[in-house]
Amino acid sequence: MTQSEIFAARLKNARIMKGFSQDDLVSAMGIEISKMSISKYENNKMSPSSSVIISLANALNQPIDYFFRPFTLQIESIKFRKKSRLSVNPEKMIKEKILDLIERYIDIEEICNVSKIFSSPLKDKISNSNQVKKAASELRKSWNIGVDGIVNVIDLLEEQGIRILEIDAPEFFDGLSSMVNDIYPVIVLNKSLSSERKRFTALHELGHIILSFESDIAEKEEEKLCHIFASEMLILEPVFVKLIGSSRHDISYQELRAIQLQYGISCDALMYKAKECGIISQQRYIYYCIKKNKNQNFKQIVEKSLYYDEESNRFTRLVYNALSNELISISKAANLLHQSVEQVRGDLVLV
């Protein structure tokens, strides 16, 4: 691509990432410019002046060099959870945010020479829940997790070469998984999720990346199997049965709360697991769901987050590592972090 073609594509991507229409962008720029001009810029039919480029960058909250950065990555096979609830524009906005984030992530990995190659230890095809549970058990063994709770899911996945990105997104968006350039596995999470939901979502998306499903598995069934995989990764069925019993009618909240605190899995997920493992009946699980929807006090109790918050900080850590080792300038660090030079300089505390 020529430099003008790169600029045109980057401008459109930045506008979509911001959630702006062309009219919105005109209003945000605060200078005399027409919607027609924006359209011509995006279609590479006209080039803006340097002063207009600065106004575009400020309105879209992007560093100027973003608009001239060559395209080197491509996101493939994105899998949205609850995809039907996302309209076209929010979905496009999320995709552009992901591409921008992962480009900066891979950039700093290459600068620090710490790029990790991910390799799945699971090779067998998956078609049912028993095979999923077996796969979760095998993965725990391969990654030396044992049978105890996973202390920090995000740290675990990043140690294994999976990039975790957190973004601001609509509340009904949980996360997605993708392979970038067919070699970089990426899991994207909504920043606003509770800790338990974030852990579960990360492992659900891991299922999409690491499990090889039979070709005739429907999308809805794949979602269900990834749900079971996440649950099994958080707490193995034999461990759960040992703690709760093999057959129950009523289960106390205090029992579930103790497991939630130790394993970082929500009461909702535990009740679903109890139903799926045959510990409680389908009818009893439905009763639980109905009670939760009708009784707000009960709903608040069982949906309360108890596990400590997890967040991905590897990207930021790598940027400051490169900065303190003089591999990059403060200006480059600011561009990577999408922060001002003053903010980065203030946060850089050498000890």
- Where residue 1 sits, what CATH number does that domain have? 1.10.260.40
Residues 36 and 154 in one domain: no
- The answer to whether 162 and 118 have CB atoms below 8 angstroms apart is yes
Residue 118 resides in a domain: no
Longest pairwise C-alpha distance within the chain: 72
Which of these ranges, 2-11, 39-48, 162-171, has the smallest mean pLDDT? 162-171
Residue 60 resides in a domain: yes
Residue 337 resides in a domain: yes
What pTM, to 2 d.p., does this model score? Answer: 0.86
Residue 100 resides in a domain: no
Write out pLDDT tens, residues 185-231.
899 999 999 999 999 999 999 999 999 999 889 989 999 999 999 99
In the chain, the number of structural domains is: 3
Residues 168 and 285 in one domain: yes
The residue type found at 171 is E
The boundaries of the domain holding residue 28 are 1-71
Burial (0-12, 13-18, 19+ Cβ within 10 Å), 51: exposed
Strand ranges (DSSP E) for 123-226?
125-126, 163-167, 175-180, 184-190, 212-213
Confidence of residue 78 (pLDDT cuts 50, 70, 90): low
Residue 207 resides in a domain: yes
Write out pLDDT tens, residues 41-77.
999 999 999 999 999 999 999 989 889 988 877 665 5
Residues 251 and 153 in one domain: yes
Residues 327 and 266 in one domain: no
